[in-house]
A and B are shown apart, each in its own frame.
Chain A
Amino acid sequence: MNTNAIEVRGLTKLYGGFKLDRVSFTLPSGCIMGLIGENGAGKSTTIRLLLGLARRSGGEVRVLGADPETAEPEFREELGVVMDECPFPESFTCRDAGRILAAAYRHFEADKFAQMCKNFGLDNKKRIKDYSRGMKMKLSIAAALSHGARLLLLDEPTSGLDPVARDELLDVLLDFIQDENRSVLISSHILSDLEKACDYITFIHAGRSVFSEEKDALLEKYVLAKGSESEISALDAGRVVGVRRGQFGCEALVERGAAERLLTERAGIEDIMLYYIRGDAK
């Protein structure tokens, strides 16, 4: 069995004025990877390419060992997908959604789907147009988890959800991943969520992958150093990711050990992303 759920090498896609440029990452089986980046960075495009919904301009992609562009449709039996918007027509009820899923998937578990809808508080008779954003997302998640998927691909599932619903979703993902044959790729710009749940983080900025690393190694790698302008300027520029200058001094994201004489504190995923994007020149 392939030990990687997803392998992406040099993935490139040209769209009018946008270019997804040689993105590479590997998601080992049994892990959760967070795909982070600002809006329009290329996260959704990457997921669409992984699903074969769009055709890549270059690079190689393997999802559960198959090329999504050429794989037989049966390969999608093992994928659970949550799009950024509820994909079912608004006139549908969750029972209608279940009917489609039952016809589409060989291993659809109707009882599990019904139970999940019930647990999520989704009314069988209510139309989707009357659902809140959180309820729509829960329906999509119930659909993704009810046909024996080995790999979940979730595109911005937490945006628009309240903190309680986001926490519930993360619990569902952590429960799903208990089986080591299962994996999750989740894109989000709510980084606190990803920091809680993910094993790996891939950061895409302006169509390019800036890094793809184990989350713990990433958090271990960087610290935030605080000091005066002259103290920050004196740091080894090669080990400084970015600097932010404020009224009362400077703050820099630096490699651990690069600013031992300065006051340092833990850098979160959000700090790391912000310094990569908005940190001033070193």
Chain B
Amino acid sequence: MKALLIKDLLTLKGQAKSLLLVLAVWFVISLINGSGLFFTSLSVIYGMLLPLTTLSVDEKSRVEGYMMTMPVTRAELALSRYALGILGLLALGVLGVGASLVIGDSLKEALGASIACFCIAVLLLGVTLPLVYKFGTDKARVISIVIYMATFLAVGFIASRFGIELDDLGGAFFLLPFLSLAVLAVSAAGSLRIYGKKEF
């Protein structure tokens, strides 16, 4: 697992400058708006894209097959992107809390926003990774967008059909971490299955 994470971090190293630049721009925009939510939400969603970025590079270089000639298991290969994604999300989540506090948000607001964004990003990561493993980055990108759009439309339709206001769902946000965890567990199980059968 360590070798796989090092490979991914070295792959991302080349993009560190652009990441820092994007974060700086978002921070300035948040500072002008006076709310850390903009910075936290965008940076955490960006964190979700980190494993997808390394996967895209891996596909191009065929490094996966090479890593499988090393003392590395298929399960480690499948789960390393989850580990990278969660580590990235944690780091950016903490950064989001720090930035929000600097901007002037309360600790409660900063923590709440960061945890909610983290859970949503984990949920999206859980949906996307098995799709990428199964269909490759290009096809999976399209499928993911269709799934996200369909989910938002369905939620919007159900809310309007039954007259549910978003504010009414405040209590339901406590369920978000559990939902994310459940999706992550199902997703990881699916990914292990896909990699168990994969040919390199």
Contact = CB atoms under 8 A, between A and B. Distances in A.
Contacts of A89: 10-11, 57-58, 60-61, 63
A100 B68 contact: no
A92 to B, nearest CB: 6
B72 A73 contact: yes
A44 to B, nearest CB: 11
Contact of A83 (B13, B58, B65): B65
Given A87-B62, A100-B7, A103-B3, A48 B200 contact: yes
A276 interface: no
A53 B199 contact: yes
Contacts of A52: 68
A194 interface: no
A106 to B, nearest CB: 8
Q: How large is the interface on A (under 10, 10 to 19, 20 to 34, 35 or more residues)?
A: 20 to 34
Given A89-B57, A89-B61, A104-B3, A96 B10 contact: yes
B66 A83 contact: yes
Contacts of A87: 61-63, 65-66
B199 to A, nearest CB: 4
Given A54-B200, A88-B61, A76 B66 contact: no
A99 B10 contact: yes
B155 interface: no
B30 to A, nearest CB: 30
A247 interface: no
Interface residues of B, number: 26
Most buried by A among B13, B65, B70, B197: B70
Interface string A73-85: 1111101010101
A54 B70 CA distance: 15
A51 B2 contact: no
Interface in A196-254: none
A90 interface: yes
Contacts of B57: 89, 91
Q: Most chain-A Cβ atoms within 10 A of its Cβ — which of B13, B63, B71?
A: B71
Interface string B1-13: 0110011001101
Nearest to B62: A87
B10 A53 contact: no
A104 B1 CA distance: 8
B121 to A, nearest CB: 25
Nearest to A48: B200
B195 to A, nearest CB: 12
Nearest to A104: B3
Interface string A97-111: 001110111100000
A53 B61 contact: no
Contacts of A51: 68-69
Contacts of B62: 83, 85, 87
11 contacts: A51-B69, A53-B68, A53-B69, A53-B199, A81-B69, A89-B61, A89-B63, A90-B61, A91-B13, A100-B3, A104-B67
Interface of A: 48, 51-55, 73-77, 79, 81, 83, 85-92, 96, 99-101, 103-106
